[in-house]
Structure 1
């Protein structure tokens, strides 16, 4: 997936000699991206890269106890005893948590698309 801010004028990092150097916003995004994988036990982190004006990521969604993988709306409760969240709910949590932290460091108008 690709996740972008609504305003691409606030970069996440700079690239110097082929190396990505995260700024405050980029470090927050990196921290909150790792945070979601501690919160939701039915997903696994795969590769991701933060670049100056957006980032790319792959999330692996693990099957439920019946072998189903749910990427859309949350599955019916009777299909799995554990609470499972849809991909859109997980990304929404990431955007909310990272936005709150970005606002706290002074970028009050920061928003995700």
Structure 2
């Protein structure tokens, strides 16, 4: 087998010993494969989504339909990565109405002529149904898999990576940190030049 530095020296960037099924909020960053600017462009500090970016948006916003414990918070799609806050709630609370959380992460900086222009995720019999005990890794894995599949169907590049193999997470410990991260996500398009170099910097939180 050919030596592959990334494959043979891949390290987990999850917090060792932490249960990622635990109730709490998590700041997530996922980058595109080789940091390709795939999802649109930044114009005057505002993100302009292309058709691939709209596919990613739809898959993210639909995550609570498949994960009853999941609630969405702030979210932004950038040309070559996404930032979002995901919250896992207690099993006893999964009967609550999630309608207030779905779409709550749509930041004001997404400039779209019509909200209905977002495509619906392609139906697939393999998409996970309600599994209330799935943890963060399983949720992200499913999101990446099915959003990438749909993007590749549209661009006729089946099997080509859309996302980097791993993702970054930051466990949000308190309300102060949560508010800072929300502000960072909301203003991210204005920080595009800096963010290209450092797409995620948990040390500031």
Which bin holds the TM-score, normalised by the shorter protein?
0.7 to 0.9
Partner of 2:86: 59
8 Å Cα contact 2:32-2:38 kept in structure 1: no
Aligned length, in residue pairs:
98
TM-score, scaled relative to structure 2: 0.45
The residue that corresponds to 1:49 in the other structure is: 76
Moved over 6 A (4+): none
Output aligned runs, 1:1-113, within 5 Å.
1-65=28-92, 83-106=132-155, 108=157, 109-113=160-164
Rg larger in structure: 2
Q: If each structure's strand is expressed as a fraction of its own residues, which one has the higher value? A: 1
Secondary structure in structure 2 of the residue aligned to 1:48: strand
Q: Which runs of 5+ in 1 are unaligned?
A: 66-81
Consecutive unaligned residues of structure 2, counting only runs of 5 or more, are: 1-27, 93-130, 165-205
Give CA-to-partner distance per residue, 1:31-83, whole Å, 9 cap, x none: 11012121111010000111111010100110223xxxxxxxxxxxxxxxx74
Alpha-carbon spacing, 1:110–1:24, altered in 2? closer, same or farther (3 Å) = farther
Equivalents in 2 of 1:22, 1:107: separation in Å?
A: 19
- Tell me how large the CA RMSD over aligned residues is: 1.8
